[in-house]
Amino acid sequence: MIGRKYGSRKFFIATGLVGFLAILSTYYLGIFPIVTLRQSEILCPSPISIGEEVNPFGLGDSENGEQTLYYIQDLDDKDGFFSVRYTSDNELIKKIRPLLNCEYTGGDVATTQSRIILVIDGTITMRLEASIVLDEAKPGLQVRSLGWLEFKKPQELKAELDNLSPYLLPWLHI
């Protein structure tokens, strides 16, 4: 009986170790964290003309309250080790928000996978979400209600987003 108990302990330790290594390897491959998103809407200014400057993250009364900014990179866009970065530092968010000023183009881009999300007061007040492209060819935002918006200062925005903290947990639900 003692040998059998010891054998099952080895099995559980080995299974736990294999499971831990599997999770660790998927994390290093960039699969983690698993991100689940609830439906969100961007407040849309009206009317808007081609060439007009707009900041979808500057709409609404969002200066007060808890804010968290998430930058979720697609595996193809990932330029560093971490695929999700975030901050709850209101001062850093205040520096980033003006850098999200864009020019309305009237177009659409269908292949954006990375996202930038601003959560205000948890999920109670509002969650603003847009797909983001930060490559050198054509940086901008794809917003469901506005279409394609081109950044005014893409290099400065990229530098500030690199200052966000890495999200280290295996699951993120916004």
Residues 170, 35: Cα–Cα separation, whole Å: 9
pLDDT in tens, 127-148: 677 888 887 778 888 887 788 8
Contact status, residue 101 vs residue 156, Cβ threshold 8 Å = no
Q: Which domain holds residue 4?
A: 1-31
Say if residue 6 is in the same domain as residue 79: no
Say if residue 132 is in the same domain as residue 95: yes
Q: 156 in helix, strand or coil? A: helix
Tokens of 106: 């009237």
Say if residue 41 is in the same domain as residue 127: yes
The pTM for the full model equals 0.74
Residues 173, 35: Cα–Cα separation, whole Å: 6
Residues 19, 14: Cα–Cα separation, whole Å: 9
Say if residue 25 is in the same domain as residue 75: no
Say if residue 10 is in the same domain as residue 51: no
Say if residue 47 is in the same domain as residue 60: yes
Among 66-75, 98-107, 110-119, 153-162, where is mean pLDDT lowest?
A: 110-119
Say if residue 109 is in the same domain as residue 61: yes
pLDDT in tens, 39-86: 655 555 566 788 998 888 775 555 667 888 888 887 666 666 668 889
Say if residue 47 is in the same domain as residue 105: yes
